Amino acid sequence: MRNSSQVKSKPFSKSLWQLAAGLPIVLGVIWGSPVLAKNDPNTLTYGELFKEVDRGVVSKVELDPVTKIAKVTVMENNKLRIKEAVLLDDNAELYNKLNNKGVEFGVQKSADKNAIFGLLGNILLLVFVITVLSAVIRRSGNAGGQAMSFGKSRARFQMQAKTGVMFDDVAGIEEAKEELQEVVTFLQEPERFTSVGAKIPKGVLLVGSPGTGKTLMAKAIAGEAGVPFFSISGSEFVEMFVGVGASRVRDLFKKAKENAPCLVFIDEIDAVGRQRGVGMGGGNDEREQTLNQLLTEMDGFEGNNGVIVIAATNRADVLDAALLRPGRFDRQVQVDPPDYKGRLAILRIHIRDKKVDPELSLESVARRTTGFTGADLANLLNEAAIFAARRHKQAISISEIDDAIDRVIVGMEGKVVMDGKFKRMTAYHEIGHALLMTLIKEHEPVQKVTVLPRGQAVGITWSMPNEEHGLESRAKLLAMITVSLGGRAAEEVVFGKDEIDSGASNDIQRLTRIARGMVAQLGMSDLGLVAMDNEHQEYSEAIAAQIDREVRKIVKDCHQQAVDLLQEHRWLMDILAEMLIDRETIDGDEFRRIVDRETGRNEVIVSKQKPALAGS
Ligand code: ADP
Ligand code: ZN
Ligand code: MG
């Protein structure tokens, strides 16, 4: 593993997305409003005005509160034009939107007293609306609610008869898509399974970092199956009064059963589903009641009634074990950040509704955005479109992409963005681990190697899960130390001693632990068969120094072995590193195939299906 030290774990702010998600509802209402003469190029309907503001072509709106007609300055074919739009009695949405988009707006001066009152009224209303709205946004930002509901005090849960999202709208997470294809079939033709006595799964847990497309995927499943989509967010419960969450869960499932077949989506399930009896104080009671209700509901419905529950989280490890039992969320699907190919596919999806300069190469954009999630990429293209509109361009060109990448990266604070040299260094580091895993036969075979950042790691190499438990031979422990040193050793061999960086700190901690254990607990050094590493037992400084010396000897020997092996296979490292830089992940079977082919050795190991604990 190569880790970054600069990482802060800051929750991903989703409030803008939520705002965006709320707008279509609002717009839907507004489009039904009275309009000026249709098709007149000099007038805009209220809805068109919204669209134009969205497209970023509106630079100014001036309204007359008496006539309710606004003069709108629009950029059309590179010329400024003034159009008229009829407004409504209550234009709060518009004001808010103009405000958000930074469009200049004003009110025409008029001698009419009514106008002044109207103006004052509007301003007061505006202030009021902005206050309320920002409160709503802030709340839904905290709570992670999916949509804003105006007029209603609080959304109970969302229901969408049709999500309108299909598998085609989701890219870069092909493995997850394949696994979930089956769920679509369950929803579409449950009889096919029930008629042969098969139990349909009730719950699927999507695990992946924010913005990788979990919500989108859940919507796509409902969309593909053509069933209604119910959604609720776990974090909303935390701030509720005791009992409210539980009753809401009950309502949700009741409604879902009435509408079966359908899909229930529980976002951020970790907010309610944390292990009971640990964690935060205050909201605990509420959380537990909600969780218990959820468990009861999951158990209560027969697997065959056509309701499938999909939950999303970015950490499965904190979830209460009860949630993961058979008959509940017993299927887990990993949603990984996209690799190069995936990013390209995602960019192609989000470019569909945008105009791009034909010169622009999406391939190069995908190359430059290692570490971006689907949401980051969607955001990137949107920012680029905004830049293009501001610059009065007809299409997005490379310079807008450049600026948008910079801007999105600022917003990605805490995530590591990989480029050029850093990526190369990371690739060689990981190849060092993976190659040694493959060459040293005492070590578990490599499962997968990646230079895609995940959590604190900028690159990871996994080995296959250890089948035999408990006893580890000395040879195996030494192999683990050598492999752990492989990352740093590769950096030394390829880039020279001066270029190595702090990225190996986790590796070094790990191997030091193993080496110390060998010396001080397992009697595997020249110090002999004594267990000395007992916290409560004092040992002399002389012995402490001896332990240190033995540990250092072991590490030094292993390091030498790592460097020798890698130097000997330097050419092979180059091949593998190039490939890893290009593809960003290589799975174990393929890795071994290449090593076998290039070295002429013949060691066929077929990997088991399920991945693996994170290795060094
Ligand atoms: P998550 O639920 O994992 O946090 P979302 O599904 O809410 O992520 O993603 C937010 C938005 O980012 C989506 O609505 C979509 O526009 C874009 N997006 C994210 N992942 C993907 C993907 N794999 N393919 C296409 N678009 C994506
Ligand atoms: Zn490492
Ligand atoms: Mg989501």
Domain-embedded: residue 453 = yes
Among 305, 334, 363, where does a domain finish? 334
Per-residue model confidence as pLDDT tens digits over 251-272: 888 888 888 889 999 999 988 8
**Average pLDDT for residues 602-612, to the nearest whole number?**
49
The question of whether 430 is a catalytic residue gets the answer yes
Q: What is the CATH number of the domain that holds 441?
A: 1.20.58.760
How far is ligand 3, taken at its centre, from the CA of residue 215, in Å? 4
Q: Is ligand 1 within 6 A of the CB of residue 170?
A: yes
Q: Do 519 and 402 have their domain in common?
A: no
Mean pLDDT value of segment 54-68: 77
Mean pLDDT of 56-78: 78
One domain, residues 318 and 345: no
Looking at residue 75, which CATH number applies to its domain? 3.30.720.210
One domain for residues 437 and 386: no
State whether 576 and 457 are in the same domain: yes
* Tens digits of residue pLDDT in 126-148: 766 666 666 655 554 444 333 33
- The active-site residue out of 430, 444, 491, 550 is 430
With a 6 Å cutoff on the Cβ, whether 344 touches ligand 1 is no
* Within-domain flag for 548: yes
Distance CA 79, CA 484 (A): 63
Residue 309: pLDDT band (50, 70, 90) is: very high
pLDDT at 391: 92
What's residue 240's pLDDT? 63
- Ligand whose nearest atom lies closest to the CA of 381: 1
Domain that holds residue 573: 420-599
Same domain, 372 and 247: no
pLDDT digits (tens, 9 = 90+) for 232-243: 888 776 666 667
Instruction: Tell which of 334, 353, 372 closes a domain.
Output: 334
Residue 374 CA: which ligand is closest?
1
Residue 92 Cα to ligand 3 middle (Å): 28
Whole-number pLDDT of residue 31: 31
Shared-domain flag, residues 171 and 214: yes
The answer to whether residue 142 sits within a structural domain is no
For residue 249, give the amino acid letter. Answer: V
Q: Is there an atom of ligand 1 within 6 Å of 380 CB?
A: no
Of ligand 1's listed atoms, the one at least distance from the Cα of 17 is 10
Segment 54-63 shows an average pLDDT of 81
Q: Do 345 and 326 lie in a common domain?
A: no
Q: State how far Cα 408 lies from the chain centre.
A: 15
List, edge to edge, every strand of the sheet that includes 69-76.
Answer: 43-44, 79-86, 69-76, 58-64, 104-107
Q: Is 145 in the pocket of ligand 1 (CB under 6 A)?
A: no
Q: What is the mean pLDDT of the chain?
A: 78
Q: Best mutation site among 12, 158, 170, 216 for ligand 1, i.e. most ligand atoms within 8 A of its Cβ?
A: 216
- CATH number at 275 reads 3.40.50.300
Percent pLDDT > 90 in the chain is: 30
Q: How confident is the model at residue 312 (pLDDT cuts 50, 70, 90)?
A: very high
* Rounded Cα gap, residues 178 and 281, in angstroms: 40
Q: How far is the CA of 216 from the centre of ligand 1 (A)?
A: 5
Provide the domain count of the chain. 4
pTM (global) more than 0.75: no
Contacts by 245-249, CB closer than 8 A, 24 or more apart: 245/272, 245/286, 245/287, 245/289, 245/290, 245/293, 246/289, 246/290, 246/292, 246/293, 247/293, 248/156, 248/157, 248/290, 249/290, 249/293, 249/294, 249/297
Q: Which residues pair with 106 in a beta bridge?
A: 62
Distance (angstroms) between ligand 1 centre and the Cα of 156 equals 23
Give yes or no: residues 302 and 347 share one domain.
no
Q: Which of 458, 445, 466 is nearest to 613 (CA)?
A: 466
pLDDT at 304: 62
Give 348 Cα–ligand 1 centroid separation in angstroms. Answer: 14
Same domain for 317 and 194: yes
pLDDT of 442 > 80? The answer is yes
The number of the ligand 1 atom at minimal distance from the alpha carbon of 218 is 6
Q: Is residue 19 part of a domain?
A: no
| Position 298 pLDDT exceeds 80 | yes
Which pLDDT belongs to residue 532? 62
Q: How many Å lie between the centroid of ligand 2 and the Cα of residue 487?
A: 5
Residue type, 8: K
Nearest alpha carbon, ligand 1 atom 25: 170
Q: Is residue 12, in this structure, part of any structural domain at all?
A: no
> Is pLDDT above 50 for 97?
yes
Q: Of 357, 374, 409, at which residue does a domain stop?
A: 409
Query: Secondary structure of the chain: what % helix, strand, coil (to 5)?
Result: 50, 15, 35
Domain check: are 313 and 370 in the same one?
Answer: no
* Residue identifier of the C-alpha nearest atom 27 of ligand 1: 374
Partnered with residue 74 across adjacent β-strands are 58, 81
Ligand 1 lined by 349 (C-beta under 6 Å): yes
Answer whether residue 605 is part of any domain. Answer: no
Q: Is residue 566 part of a domain?
A: yes
Same domain, residue pair 296 and 181: yes
User: Which ligand ends up closest to the CA of 17?
Assistant: 1
- Residue 30 located in a structural domain: no
Considering every ligand atom shown, identify the ligand nearest to the alpha carbon of residue 562 and give its number: 2
Report the alpha-carbon angle 395-398-404, nearest 5: 90
- Do residues 97 and 69 both lie within one domain? yes
Closest ligand 1 atom to residue 375 Cα is 12
